[in-house]
Structure 1
Amino acid sequence: MKAKSELMKEKILKAVIDLFMEKGIEKVTTRDLTDRLGVARSHIYHYFKDWQSLSIEAISGFMHDELDEFQSIIAPMPARQKLQEFIDGIVSEAPDPTRKLYSSLWLLSTHNKAYSELMESFLDRWHQVLTDIIVSGMNERVFCSVDAQRVARQLDALLFGYSEHLFTLPSEGLLKEAQEDIDDFIQRTLLARSEKEIS
């Protein structure tokens, strides 16, 4: 009975994430979810206290899984490749299917403390992943010695700025400029001195 209950809860969480990715968090209603699952409203709230609790648990689980999966993919890679994977996950030609979820979470964060805390905790975790990549490059002696936290903050700002711009006004020209600017920043900040040190 417990296994069946857990299975239903997981089904609800997955369905709500699918809807969030399709429509954005703020545009999804309990009715959308019950229609998607073919269950009564009371059935949803047997498992969750309210809509916000359900939303936060679903988003939190999804984001944890995404971050864990990314870390396991890059674990065996050298630092330069890890950094490129990180960049490609944020600024790329292919539209990110999770984009609506993240954009609407960002908006909700401006006026809802629970969503704000959730967003902040995951931004901190992703920032730490980027910092760790930079440190690993320093340890491999492929990146020069820098303040890894500061460079990670600067690169975060560059990546997320371009990501937002490309999401709002996508164009091949802007994508090319973004990639060139990001490459230039990495060259000037992480590679220039390390290449001198090696030679």
Structure 2
Amino acid sequence: MAADPTRRPLYLHRLLLLIPLIGLSLSQTSFAETVVNIPRENGALHQEFKNLMHEQISQFENGIGRINLPGKSGNKDCTANFYTHEDSTFLSIDIRANDTYKEFYIDHPTQSFKPILFQKLILSDDGVEIKVVKRRFTFSIKSNGETLTIHTKSKSKKDKTPSCTFQLVDVKLFEGETE
């Protein structure tokens, strides 16, 4: 019995369609991520932030102080200040060239969890990220041990806040300073 000449091109066509799918699945496994939900309870997010910045925070005698990071947002200078103590961390970001300034608590013992949709810890090959999505505001803090990137975004169309990237070797620590 002779082979049907129309079946061979169909078989090759299906095989050619399968090759990109195999490549896509292999490339996705090389960038594996583990996503962990951070409980919506007081102190949980602050603890994850303290874990992320352990090397810097552990240098404070009582765990209280300001972490100052000079960095870049594109080609513009930006500065971040983390004011941390036992219960909470307050963050301020300043991009002078854009006249952009944001400040907010990463976690606070009296905050309400109603506006928080989710908060996650994302572990991937290229670093650790804390991501918080609220009804009107989102922020993420990502570090690979050498750099730290902060991204904020509000639901406002006027919000043009870009990401800021900081080299952790440039960190300045101020013992005992609070917001």
Class of the TM-score when normalised by the shorter of the 2 chains? under 0.3
Q: TM-score, normalised by structure 2?
A: 0.23
Say which one has the larger Rg: 2
Q: TM-score, normalised by structure 1?
A: 0.21
